[in-house]
Chain A
């Protein structure tokens, strides 16, 4: 991350949380290929514990893993319905931060998902369509070195 010193991720994450009026916002970054594209939550705001820092996700695992694999955002106004109650432990960040509703969007670089931003609340039904749109607009068209959408046609 040293190459992007000019862009303060922590500050940006906090700003998103303020603008969205959410309980929790975090940014996960995807590591390089030789580290098996492992995903870690690197920056967070509004966290209730340090658990997020220790979580290492593989492609397809957890919220970030799914966004990474599909390249599509997730909109889950009711977290329990999205994750299915019995399956909640497969979504460690939701469990650790006790999120009741959340949304997550991918960040691209060179047409690959390089980062994932999650915004969530600990109260039910707080993540609305409007907030989801707001989240998408906040990382568009660029977020630091990342693009909000896959650049097609190049």
Chain B
């Protein structure tokens, strides 16, 4: 795969050619990744998710960069032209790492959408356990057991639509992670701010069942501005603080 291995060691020109080849390889790989990713996103049934693809590309780039750098530094350095060496450094230290970082971030962005990822902090266990409990009547459990949200159940309800929503969701995740690893969260944990109703209305508001309810029409102004949460009447989404086990070392809710 790597052109360097095929090049006779004495020929710096060949090395330079190989470096140039590697230089072209990077954008090509990028294009390839982008193309397949978009196809995967549209097709849906491609079998490989966007995240998996980016993770593969990232891994490939990282490994390639490492091999390239090792070869360029310790095997071929004295046999290649200064320009070729710089070119290889550019590829190994900049271009391939960009792909690797892209892959890594995509992995982080995609992987953290999973329920398993949320559940990796033990403070989330009561919420996930409840969601998966078929006898629970919370909103989360009902959406889960009826298959109303097929995948990434936590992320789907806790991330608003659009780029802004994604950024907000990731920021929340980062904050939660920081609070968790530093042990500085306060019990009982509760949802901060006004819940964005669009996460509910996005699916429900178009249905006749929703539109038939006079209360929905009456509260339309409040609901659209999130001044009243859908969950006020239709909650609780999760077990209330009194229904959740208390984390050891954290004060009990009053």
| A, B co-complexed | no
Interface residues of A, Cβ cutoff 8 Å to B? none
Interface residues of B, Cβ cutoff 8 Å to A? none
